[in-house]
Amino acid sequence: MKHGRMKLVSALAAITLLFIIPSCGSPGTVADDVKSDEEPSQEKAAPQAAGTSASEDMQQPSSELSEDELEEFTVLFNIPEYNGFLSESFSSPEKINWDAVMQFGAGISARDIGEEEVNDYLKAVRQDKVYGELLAVRRADLGEYITKHTGLDSVPDDALSWEYIADHDSYYTEQPSSEPVSYTCVEGTRKGDDYELRFRVNQGDASESKSGKNYGRRADRVLTLRMVCGEAIVESNAIQWDDYCDESQTFDVSFPQFDSTVRFITYSVAPDDISIVLVKDGNRLTDLFTSVQTEEGSSNLNEVLAVSFFDFDYDGMVDIEVIGDSKLGKHALLYKAVSTEYLFESFADLDEKKMTEIGSDFTLPGIREAILGDSSDDVQMGYQDLYARIARLYQLTNDEYKFDLINVDDNSAPALVIDCNGYHMSLYSCENGKSHCLMYNRPYGAAGNAGYSYAPGKGVFFNQNSDHAGAIMNVYYMLMHEGKELEADYAVTYLMFNDLNKDGSPSDDEIAATEDFHPYSAKYYNYTDKNMTDAETEAKIKLLDGYDQEYISGKLDYKTLINRLRK
């Protein structure tokens, strides 16, 4: 019923648009629309030659769209074929993020995915099963779709970042369980065949429902398009990020870790709830969480007083400092730049009590001096001074940290361990006079995660965690890569129970039937870009397992660490 309904909506949209949209012949002539459908021509592949020309459009007056016309565009851009064009900003068809447009299949995803095709996908992505719904888009269908809706006559090979399998000439991804966002066309103008349409997001989060305003990720979209032969040729889409922003705390910032300017946007629309979003090239980079914590409880900032940008951990990436007010008093929030998908993570919340302890006031220069001491954020230094300053920074924010220096690689300086025992751990190395964060606040000690170990002098790290009370054991192997955080290069999963039905998950009966918990089976995984057979992956993992291993933990208090670094 769902697919039948969508076909009906799509047909309704196509029929209604015939009466308002200029076609390949004279503007607004229904007969010409019918003729163009019966006699396909090359005009459809060359939008500028169809309908009125761009110069003719410039001479025509602009007119407001009627309520009926707005409703017709609302219907059109809520069908799968068009809906995805409103998800992200783009300044031209060449800048479109096709991953975003195709997130829900755009009406062209394949329905005939057979078992062989699914197995080929699982082999390509090194998974045992599909998590969610598997979407497949045939490359030929994608090319036709892009040409039809943008006028582009070629499709780049990297149009989609999905898994491409040459044997099926198709792209694959696993779709999340979320639903497409719906929109309402609230304003629009027409000038010849050119349209500018403003769409409002129908779904809002809690803060937006309190304020009754759409802002941030739910801000309005302004879409421009050209109608050709009854088809919408999209030209640009702009999310209105600056709507309802706090102009005094909204500005453009240059970060060395990004290739273009970033827009720092502050919103104070919802009562007692400041929100901050970073936008690059018209699209969201990340949000900054503005919740604060004291002994009296938790709250959110209700005002941003000042913002500063500097590299407080000497890694060459610029971090963020926000001074704000709340029901619980003033706070200085620090956000560390990281190289993962999150980009910035909360590092410290310095309240008035903490600021008094470190002898600083709530000014940008005062906090900067308290954090950096007498050095600038762009200075290069030896690992001893570098680690001393990083350790001091962590000690300022939490005096319960423990530290250690470990020999992870015989060819470089030791690495600095910063351990909040039983909760999370960070690890820094020194590269070219700058710090490099190998791990930042990696959790352990709960959810079956036993923690981290390393092979001294080998540049190899290990992490072990278990599921189902130890019935399934996972071991991850992480190798050092210059400039990158540690991530799993290889892994092995041990089934520590007698898996009688071979489904990979322990049942009560299988646990009861297990006399001795030992590895009943093992499956090996290769997450690198090396093309390795299963036997080669197993051999590599067994080689890594043969290294001597030492558990990583904080063993030194701050003063002992500083004394050791000064020797």
Query: Domain of 324: which CATH number?
Result: 2.40.128
What is the reported pLDDT for 59? 65
Predicted confidence band of residue 210 (pLDDT cuts 50, 70, 90)? low
Residue 57: per-residue pLDDT: 56
Residues 317/255, Cβ–Cβ less than 8 Å: yes
In a domain, 400, yes or no: no
**Beta partners for residue 474, in sequence order:** 465, 493
Q: Are residues 505 and 530 in the same domain?
A: yes
Same domain, yes or no, for 438 and 501? Answer: yes
Shared-domain flag, residues 539 and 432: yes
Give yes or no for residue 320 having a pLDDT over 80.
yes
Residues 457, 346 share a domain: no
For residue 277, the cross-strand partners are 265, 287
Does residue 227 register a pLDDT over 70? Answer: yes
**Which residue, chain included where needed, has tokens 């648009």?**
17
Q: What is the pLDDT of residue 27?
A: 34
Q: Three-state SS for 189? A: strand
The Cα angle at residue 479 between residues 476 and 481, in degrees rounded to 5: 140
Give one DSSP letter per residue of 229-279, joined into a string. Answer: TTEEEEEEEEE-TTTTB-GGG-EEE--TTSSS-EEEEEE--STT--EEEEE
The pLDDT value given to residue 10: 45
- pLDDT at res. 377: 55
DSSP bridge pairs for 70: none
pLDDT at position 372 = 85
Q: What residue has token string 């998908």?
A: 341
Report d(CA 380, CA 432) in Å as an integer. Answer: 8
Q: Collect all residues with Cβ–Cβ distance below 8 Å to 343 and sequence separation of at least 6.
A: 278, 285, 286, 337
pLDDT at 235 exceeding the cut of 70: yes
Q: Which of 366, 400, 369, 401 is nearest to 387 (CA)?
A: 401
Between CA 113 and CA 130 the distance in angstroms is 13
**Look-up: residue for tokens 């959810």?**
447
pLDDT of residue 26: 35
- Residues 371 and 476 placed together within one structural domain of the fold: no
Q: 222 with 238: CB under 8 angstroms?
A: yes
CB contact at 8 A, 36 and 24:
yes
**Where does a domain end: 223, 239, 255?**
239
The answer to whether residue 95 scores a pLDDT higher than 60 is yes
Looking at the DSSP assignment, which residues form a beta bridge with residue 266?
276
What average pLDDT score do residues 292-307 get? 91
- Separation between Cα atoms, residue 372 and residue 215, nearest integer Å: 36
Domain membership of residue 393 (yes or no) is: no
Instruction: Give, in order, the Cα–Cα distances in Å from 366 to each of 308, 328, 533, 564.
Output: 12, 21, 57, 29
Closest CA to 241 of 231, 256, 251: 251
pLDDT in tens, 14-72: 444 544 444 454 333 223 333 333 333 333 333 333 445 555 555 678 899 999 999 99
Domain identity same for 50 and 154: yes
| β-sheet with 133-138: strand ranges across | 133-138, 170-175, 163-165
Please tell me which residue, 50 or 338, carries the higher pLDDT value. 338
Is residue 79 domain-resident? yes
Per the prediction, the chain carries an average pLDDT of 86
Give the range among 126-135, 252-261, 523-532 with minimum mean pLDDT: 126-135
Whether residue 131 is found in the same domain as residue 159: yes
The total number of residues shown for the chain amounts to: 567
Residue 22's pLDDT is: 46
Least confident of 136-140, 175-179, 236-240: 175-179
Identify the bridge partners of residue 426 per DSSP, sorted by sequence position.
418
Q: Which domain holds residue 508?
A: 405-551
Q: Among 215, 239, 263, identify where a domain stops.
A: 239
End-to-end distance of the chain based on CA atoms, in angstroms? Answer: 75
Confidence of residue 132 (pLDDT cuts 50, 70, 90): confident
Region 130-142: mean pLDDT is 92
Nearest to 440 by CA among 293, 558, 334, 525: 334
Q: What is the pLDDT averaged over residues 522-541?
A: 94
Q: Is the pLDDT of residue 217 over 60?
A: yes
Q: Is residue 387 part of a domain?
A: no
Q: What is the predicted pLDDT for the residue at 211?
A: 64
Same domain for 235 and 253, yes or no, is no
In angstroms, the CA 248 to CA 353 distance is 27
Tokens 């300086």 locate to: 413
Would you state the pLDDT for residue 32? 36
Helices (H), 62-219: 67-76, 80-83, 98-101, 115-125, 139-150, 206-211
pLDDT for residue 15: 43
pLDDT, tens digit, 9 for 90 and up, residues 348-382: 999 988 888 888 888 899 888 888 876 655 566 88
pLDDT of res. 54? 54
Q: What is the pLDDT of residue 461?
A: 98
In-domain check, residue 318: yes
Concatenated DSSP letters for 1-54? -HHHHHHHHHHHHHHHHTTTS--SSSTT-HHHHHHHHHS--GGGG-GGGSSS-H
* pLDDT the model gives residue 240: 98
Q: Per the domain annotation, does 564 fall within a domain?
A: no
Per DSSP bridges, beta strands 231-239 and 194-201 are unpaired
Cα distance between residue 300 and residue 291, in whole Å: 4
Q: So what's the pLDDT on residue 28?
A: 36
Q: What is the dihedral of CA 470, 473, 477, 483, to 10 degrees?
A: -60
Tokens (6 digits) for 106: 């755009």
Question: Which of 50 and 525 is assigned the larger pLDDT?
Answer: 525
Structure confidence at residue 212 (pLDDT): 76
Percent residues over pLDDT 90 in the chain: 63
Q: What would the two tokens of residue 193 be? A: 């065949």
Query: Is 84 within the bounds of a domain?
Result: yes
Q: Mention every residue, 6+ apart, whose C-beta is less than 8 A from residue 234.
A: 85, 93, 96, 149, 150, 223, 224, 225
Q: Can you tell me the distance from the alpha carbon of 186 to that of 202, in angstroms, rounded to the nearest whole number?
A: 11
Asked if residues 566 and 384 have their Cβ atoms less than 8 Å apart, the reply is: yes
- Tokens 């779904």 belong to 203
What is the biggest distance separating any 2 CA atoms in the chain, rounded to whole angstroms? 89
pLDDT tens-digit series, residues 427-452 = 999 988 889 999 999 999 888 899 99
Mean pLDDT of 170-186: 91
Query: Which of 222-231, 301-310, 404-413 is predicted least confidently?
Result: 404-413
The last residue of one of the domains, among 239, 257, 284, is 239
Question: Among all chains, which residue has been given the structure tokens 């600095």?
Answer: 416
Domains: count for the chain? 3
* Same domain (yes/no): 88, 220: yes
Are 414 and 350 found together in one domain? no
Read off the tokens for 150: 């943008």
Q: Are residues 16 and 111 in the same domain?
A: yes
Q: Highest-confidence range of 44-58, 162-176, 236-250, 288-302, by mean pLDDT?
A: 236-250
269 found inside a domain:
yes
* pLDDT tens per residue, range 474-499: 999 999 988 789 999 999 999 988 88
pLDDT tens sequence across 269-278: 977 789 999 9
**Residues 439 and 424 sit within 8 Å (Cβ to Cβ):** no
Same domain, 233 and 252: no
pTM: 0.82
Residue 273 is predicted with a pLDDT of 83
Helix (H) or strand (E) holding 176: none
pLDDT at 357: 86
